[in-house]
């Protein structure tokens, strides 16, 4: 009877060791769950970014308005007969704040 009890205690000890310190232990499992959660968040952000880029590509392929807008904003292009003005200086909002 004592041998059976001793064997059960040793078995319980081995199982506890494996549960807390062995391969695929609980702490390792919790760490992996956290990594999965972070990776899913990152994937969701990237999927959203890809969707925006896909929409932009479709818009650029379909019409000239988006293409014209990009040329104006990124390349500084103007239409024939237009005058381009560049305002240099501190924005009005910041100027008001600095006066106080």
**What is the Cα–Cα distance from 59 to 77, expressed in whole angstroms?**
19
Residue-wise pLDDT for 46-93, tens only, equals 999 999 999 888 887 887 777 777 777 777 777 778 777 777 877 666
Token pair 């494996």: residue: 18
CB 50 within 8 A of CB 44: no
- Kindly state the average pLDDT of the residues 8-31: 86
Specify the pLDDT at position 63: 76
pTM of the model: 0.50
- CB within 8 Å of 72: residues ≥ 6 apart: 78
Specify the pLDDT at position 43: 98
Specify the pLDDT at position 46: 97
Angle, vertex CA 54, rays to CA 49 and CA 59, nearest 5: 125
Specify the pLDDT at position 44: 97
CB 18 within 8 A of CB 12: no
Asked if the model's pLDDT at residue 100 lies above 70, the reply is no
Specify the pLDDT at position 92: 67
Asked if the model's pLDDT at residue 94 lies above 80, the reply is no
Asked if the model's pLDDT at residue 10 lies above 60, the reply is yes
């Amino acid at each position: 009877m004592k041998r059976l009890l001793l064997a059960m205690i040793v078995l319980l000890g081995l199982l506890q060791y494996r549960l807390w310190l062995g391969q695929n232990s609980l702490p390792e499992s919790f760490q992996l769950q956290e990594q999965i959660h972070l990776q899913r968040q990152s994937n969701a952000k990237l999927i959203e970014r890809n969707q925006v880029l896909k929409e932009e590509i479709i818009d650029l392929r379909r019409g000239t308005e988006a293409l014209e807008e990009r040329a104006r904003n990124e390349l500084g292009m103007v239409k024939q007969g237009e005058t381009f003005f560049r305002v240099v200086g501190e924005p009005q909002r910041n100027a008001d704040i600095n006066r106080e």
